[in-house]
Amino acid sequence: MIRILLADDQPLVRTGFKMILDAEPDMAVIGEAGDGADAVRQTRDLRPDIVVMDIRMPVCDGIAATAQIAAAGHARVLILTTFHVDEHVVNALRAGASGFLLKDVHADRLLEAIRVVHAGNAIVDPAVTRRLLDQFVHRLPAPGSHDGAAAAGQERLSRTTGREREVLALVAQGLSNAEIAAELVVTETTVKTHVHHLLTKLGARDRVQLVVLAYETGLAGQRPPS
Protein backbone atom coordinates (compact mmCIF):
# COMPACT_ATOMS: atom_id res chain seq x y z
CA MET A 1 0.00 0.00 0.00
CA ILE A 2 1.33 3.42 -1.00
CA ARG A 3 0.67 5.86 1.84
CA ILE A 4 0.06 9.40 0.59
CA LEU A 5 -0.11 12.84 2.19
CA LEU A 6 -1.89 15.59 0.21
CA ALA A 7 -0.57 19.13 0.66
CA ASP A 8 -2.66 21.86 -0.98
CA ASP A 9 -4.29 24.98 0.42
CA GLN A 10 -7.51 24.38 -1.57
CA PRO A 11 -9.82 21.90 0.21
CA LEU A 12 -11.74 21.09 -2.98
CA VAL A 13 -8.51 20.16 -4.76
CA ARG A 14 -7.53 17.86 -1.91
CA THR A 15 -10.99 16.28 -1.92
CA GLY A 16 -10.80 15.60 -5.64
CA PHE A 17 -7.36 14.02 -5.43
CA LYS A 18 -8.36 11.99 -2.37
CA MET A 19 -11.35 10.48 -4.18
CA ILE A 20 -9.13 9.46 -7.10
CA LEU A 21 -6.33 8.03 -4.97
CA ASP A 22 -8.46 6.20 -2.39
CA ALA A 23 -10.26 4.41 -5.23
CA GLU A 24 -7.01 2.61 -6.10
CA PRO A 25 -6.41 -0.74 -4.35
CA ASP A 26 -2.73 0.03 -3.77
CA MET A 27 -3.08 3.62 -2.48
CA ALA A 28 -4.36 5.30 0.67
CA VAL A 29 -4.48 8.99 1.60
CA ILE A 30 -3.39 9.08 5.24
CA GLY A 31 -3.37 12.85 5.77
CA GLU A 32 -4.11 16.29 4.33
CA ALA A 33 -2.23 19.55 4.90
CA GLY A 34 -3.33 23.06 4.01
CA ASP A 35 0.12 24.69 4.15
CA GLY A 36 3.76 23.75 3.83
CA ALA A 37 4.56 23.87 7.54
CA ASP A 38 1.72 21.48 8.31
CA ALA A 39 2.90 19.22 5.49
CA VAL A 40 6.34 19.01 7.09
CA ARG A 41 4.83 18.24 10.52
CA GLN A 42 2.47 15.60 9.21
CA THR A 43 5.18 13.99 7.11
CA ARG A 44 7.34 13.71 10.22
CA ASP A 45 4.49 12.28 12.29
CA LEU A 46 2.69 10.05 9.76
CA ARG A 47 5.67 8.95 7.65
CA PRO A 48 3.85 8.71 4.29
CA ASP A 49 5.61 7.20 1.30
CA ILE A 50 4.67 10.06 -1.01
CA VAL A 51 3.75 13.71 -0.44
CA VAL A 52 1.73 15.22 -3.29
CA MET A 53 2.73 18.86 -2.90
CA ASP A 54 1.42 22.15 -4.25
CA ILE A 55 3.94 25.00 -4.52
CA ARG A 56 1.96 28.10 -3.70
CA MET A 57 0.73 27.69 -0.10
CA PRO A 58 0.58 29.93 2.99
CA VAL A 59 2.89 29.85 6.04
CA CYS A 60 5.54 27.80 4.23
CA ASP A 61 5.50 27.28 0.47
CA GLY A 62 5.90 23.95 -1.26
CA ILE A 63 9.53 24.52 -2.21
CA ALA A 64 10.66 25.16 1.36
CA ALA A 65 8.53 22.26 2.61
CA THR A 66 9.98 19.95 -0.04
CA ALA A 67 13.52 20.87 0.97
CA GLN A 68 12.81 20.03 4.62
CA ILE A 69 11.05 16.75 3.80
CA ALA A 70 13.74 15.64 1.35
CA ALA A 71 16.54 16.55 3.75
CA ALA A 72 14.93 14.49 6.53
CA GLY A 73 14.39 11.55 4.20
CA HIS A 74 10.88 10.94 5.54
CA ALA A 75 9.13 10.73 2.15
CA ARG A 76 9.46 11.36 -1.57
CA VAL A 77 7.76 14.46 -2.95
CA LEU A 78 5.70 14.75 -6.12
CA ILE A 79 5.04 18.38 -7.05
CA LEU A 80 1.80 19.46 -8.74
CA THR A 81 1.55 23.01 -10.00
CA THR A 82 0.27 25.31 -12.74
CA PHE A 83 2.20 27.30 -15.34
CA HIS A 84 1.62 30.40 -13.23
CA VAL A 85 4.60 29.38 -11.09
CA ASP A 86 7.02 28.26 -13.80
CA GLU A 87 9.84 30.25 -12.22
CA HIS A 88 9.79 27.89 -9.23
CA VAL A 89 10.17 24.63 -11.14
CA VAL A 90 13.96 24.30 -11.03
CA ASN A 91 14.06 25.48 -7.40
CA ALA A 92 11.55 22.79 -6.43
CA LEU A 93 13.51 20.08 -8.21
CA ARG A 94 16.74 21.31 -6.68
CA ALA A 95 15.05 21.17 -3.28
CA GLY A 96 14.69 17.42 -3.71
CA ALA A 97 11.36 16.77 -5.41
CA SER A 98 11.21 13.42 -7.18
CA GLY A 99 8.62 14.46 -9.72
CA PHE A 100 6.84 17.40 -11.26
CA LEU A 101 3.42 17.38 -12.93
CA LEU A 102 0.87 19.93 -14.00
CA LYS A 103 -2.23 20.33 -11.84
CA ASP A 104 -4.56 19.61 -14.74
CA VAL A 105 -2.92 16.23 -15.29
CA HIS A 106 -5.19 13.35 -16.25
CA ALA A 107 -5.99 11.00 -13.37
CA ASP A 108 -4.24 8.05 -15.00
CA ARG A 109 -1.05 10.08 -15.41
CA LEU A 110 -1.15 11.13 -11.74
CA LEU A 111 -1.57 7.51 -10.61
CA GLU A 112 1.29 6.41 -12.86
CA ALA A 113 3.52 9.18 -11.50
CA ILE A 114 2.84 8.21 -7.89
CA ARG A 115 3.74 4.59 -8.62
CA VAL A 116 6.90 5.62 -10.50
CA VAL A 117 8.07 7.85 -7.65
CA HIS A 118 7.18 5.21 -5.04
CA ALA A 119 9.33 2.71 -6.94
CA GLY A 120 12.32 5.00 -6.41
CA ASN A 121 12.35 6.62 -9.83
CA ALA A 122 11.69 10.19 -10.94
CA ILE A 123 9.25 11.76 -13.33
CA VAL A 124 9.04 15.20 -14.92
CA ASP A 125 6.10 16.02 -17.16
CA PRO A 126 7.51 16.69 -20.66
CA ALA A 127 5.15 19.65 -20.98
CA VAL A 128 6.80 21.23 -17.93
CA THR A 129 10.34 21.03 -19.27
CA ARG A 130 9.33 22.07 -22.77
CA ARG A 131 7.37 25.08 -21.48
CA LEU A 132 10.28 26.06 -19.24
CA LEU A 133 12.68 25.87 -22.14
CA ASP A 134 10.45 28.11 -24.24
CA GLN A 135 9.93 30.72 -21.53
CA PHE A 136 13.23 30.76 -19.68
CA VAL A 137 15.95 29.94 -22.20
CA HIS A 138 17.04 33.60 -22.13
CA ARG A 139 17.70 33.29 -18.39
CA LEU A 140 19.89 30.22 -18.63
CA PRO A 141 23.60 30.68 -17.92
CA ALA A 142 25.79 30.72 -20.99
CA PRO A 143 27.75 27.54 -21.65
CA GLY A 144 31.19 27.95 -20.12
CA SER A 145 29.93 30.33 -17.45
CA HIS A 146 32.11 30.46 -14.35
CA ASP A 147 29.39 31.59 -11.96
CA GLY A 148 28.42 29.40 -9.01
CA ALA A 149 26.37 26.36 -9.85
CA ALA A 150 27.03 26.79 -13.57
CA ALA A 151 30.81 26.54 -13.09
CA ALA A 152 30.48 23.46 -10.89
CA GLY A 153 28.11 21.91 -13.39
CA GLN A 154 30.48 22.60 -16.28
CA GLU A 155 33.26 20.81 -14.42
CA ARG A 156 31.00 17.79 -13.94
CA LEU A 157 29.94 17.87 -17.59
CA SER A 158 33.59 17.67 -18.64
CA ARG A 159 33.54 14.05 -17.47
CA THR A 160 30.93 13.11 -20.09
CA THR A 161 31.18 12.32 -23.79
CA GLY A 162 29.67 14.39 -26.55
CA ARG A 163 26.95 11.82 -27.14
CA GLU A 164 26.10 11.76 -23.45
CA ARG A 165 25.69 15.53 -23.48
CA GLU A 166 23.38 15.23 -26.47
CA VAL A 167 21.27 12.77 -24.50
CA LEU A 168 21.29 15.05 -21.47
CA ALA A 169 20.06 18.00 -23.55
CA LEU A 170 17.13 15.90 -24.75
CA VAL A 171 16.38 14.62 -21.25
CA ALA A 172 16.15 18.26 -20.18
CA GLN A 173 13.58 18.89 -22.91
CA GLY A 174 11.34 16.26 -21.34
CA LEU A 175 11.80 13.55 -23.94
CA SER A 176 11.33 9.92 -22.93
CA ASN A 177 14.00 7.30 -23.66
CA ALA A 178 11.99 6.13 -26.68
CA GLU A 179 11.72 9.70 -28.03
CA ILE A 180 15.43 10.29 -27.51
CA ALA A 181 16.20 7.04 -29.35
CA ALA A 182 14.11 8.21 -32.31
CA GLU A 183 15.75 11.65 -32.28
CA LEU A 184 19.28 10.25 -32.29
CA VAL A 185 18.46 7.19 -34.43
CA VAL A 186 19.74 4.69 -31.87
CA THR A 187 18.08 1.93 -29.86
CA GLU A 188 16.23 2.62 -26.63
CA THR A 189 18.66 0.27 -24.85
CA THR A 190 21.53 2.51 -26.00
CA VAL A 191 19.75 5.56 -24.59
CA LYS A 192 19.19 3.79 -21.27
CA THR A 193 22.92 3.03 -21.15
CA HIS A 194 23.79 6.67 -21.81
CA VAL A 195 21.37 7.83 -19.08
CA HIS A 196 22.90 5.36 -16.64
CA HIS A 197 26.39 6.67 -17.46
CA LEU A 198 25.18 10.25 -16.97
CA LEU A 199 23.74 9.44 -13.55
CA THR A 200 27.01 7.78 -12.53
CA LYS A 201 29.43 10.35 -13.95
CA LEU A 202 27.45 13.38 -12.75
CA GLY A 203 26.65 11.96 -9.33
CA ALA A 204 22.94 12.54 -9.94
CA ARG A 205 20.33 10.77 -7.84
CA ASP A 206 17.81 10.48 -10.65
CA ARG A 207 16.57 11.92 -13.93
CA VAL A 208 15.21 15.00 -12.14
CA GLN A 209 18.69 16.01 -11.01
CA LEU A 210 19.92 15.59 -14.57
CA VAL A 211 17.31 18.15 -15.68
CA VAL A 212 18.44 20.58 -12.98
CA LEU A 213 22.09 20.23 -14.01
CA ALA A 214 21.22 20.80 -17.65
CA TYR A 215 19.46 24.05 -16.73
CA GLU A 216 22.27 25.21 -14.46
CA THR A 217 24.87 24.78 -17.18
CA GLY A 218 22.81 26.12 -20.08
CA LEU A 219 22.79 22.76 -21.81
CA ALA A 220 18.99 22.73 -21.70
CA GLY A 221 18.94 25.54 -24.24
CA GLN A 222 20.97 23.64 -26.79
CA ARG A 223 19.90 21.22 -29.49
CA PRO A 224 22.09 18.30 -30.47
CA PRO A 225 23.75 18.70 -33.86
CA SER A 226 21.85 17.18 -36.79
Over residues 145-185, the pLDDT tens digits come to 445 555 666 788 888 999 999 999 888 877 778 888 999 99
User: What is the Cα–Cα distance from 180 to 192, expressed in whole angstroms?
Assistant: 10
Domain with 173, as residue range(s), is: 139-221
What's the pLDDT at 77? 94
User: 21 and 113 in one domain?
Assistant: yes
Q: What is the CATH number of the domain that holds 200?
A: 1.10.10.10
Query: Where is average pLDDT lowest: 12-16, 137-141, 196-200?
Result: 137-141
Average pLDDT, the chain: 82
User: 10 and 120 in one domain?
Assistant: yes
Cα–Cα nearest to 95, from 72, 119, 116: 72
User: 119 and 31 in one domain?
Assistant: yes
Cα–Cα nearest to 163, from 181, 137, 138, 136: 181
Helices (H) and strands (E) in the chain, counts: 11, 6
Specify the pTM: 0.67
Query: Where is average pLDDT lowest: 11-15, 55-59, 90-94, 191-195?
Result: 90-94
User: 102 and 6 in one domain?
Assistant: yes
Q: Last residue of some domain: 124, 159, 187?
A: 124
Q: Last residue of some domain: 101, 124, 147?
A: 124
What's the pLDDT at 225? 45
User: What is the Cα–Cα distance from 115 to 1, expressed in whole angstroms?
Assistant: 10
Q: Domain for residue 28, yes or no? A: yes
User: What is the Cα–Cα distance from 112 to 147, expressed in whole angstroms?
Assistant: 38
User: 152 and 108 in one domain?
Assistant: no
**pLDDT per residue as tens digits for the range 91-102:** 777 788 888 888
Q: What DSSP line would sit under 118-129, residue for residue?
A: HTT--EE-HHHH
Give the 3-state secondary structure of residue 40: helix
**pLDDT per residue as tens digits for the range 49-59:** 999 999 888 88
